[in-house]
Amino acid sequence: MHEHTPERKQILLVEDDEQSIQYVQVLLRNTWDVTATAWADEAWDILNHKGIDLVLMDLSLPGDENGLDLTMKIRKSPNHAALPIIAVTAHAFPADRVRCIEAGCNAYLSKPFERKDLIDTIRAFI
């Protein structure tokens, strides 16, 4: 009997800072596949065309939709309502955490975060 190895989990990183994207990709690439985009509408397209297991969501995004808008849109979609979303943001005020959870985020990490905290938080959901 050959042991079946499950496919690598897919993480969608919605982030507009290039350095943050590279940092997260380096941290996670040994364990998960990371697709990154800075744009909410592109993130939505990726969600609808690729099997994403978890979203890392920055709040500040270019364009008309921010991370909270996109989170609420995901939560309203029957196909994605149960998708784990972790807010990752430099906005570290208590009110921001409340807004993230109210919008539908499952967890919240403020930048800069420790590698272990990021990985532990992801592992809690996938």
DSSP result, 33-83:
EEEEES-HHHHHHHHHHS---EEEE-S--SSS--HHHHHHHHHH-TTTTT-
pLDDT band, residue 100 (cuts 50/70/90): very high
* Direct distance between the N- and C-terminal alpha carbons of the chain, in angstroms, rounded to an integer: 26
Q: Give helix 67-76 / helix 40-49 axis angle, nearest 10°.
A: 30
pLDDT band, residue 96 (cuts 50/70/90): confident
The Cα–Cα gap between 7 and 92 comes to 34
- Among 66, 124, 121, 123, smallest CA distance to 99 is for 66
Give me the percent of the chain exceeding a pLDDT of 70.
94
Total residue length of the chain = 126
Tens-digit pLDDT profile for residues 26-85: 999 999 999 999 999 999 999 999 999 999 999 889 889 999 999 999 999 999 999 999
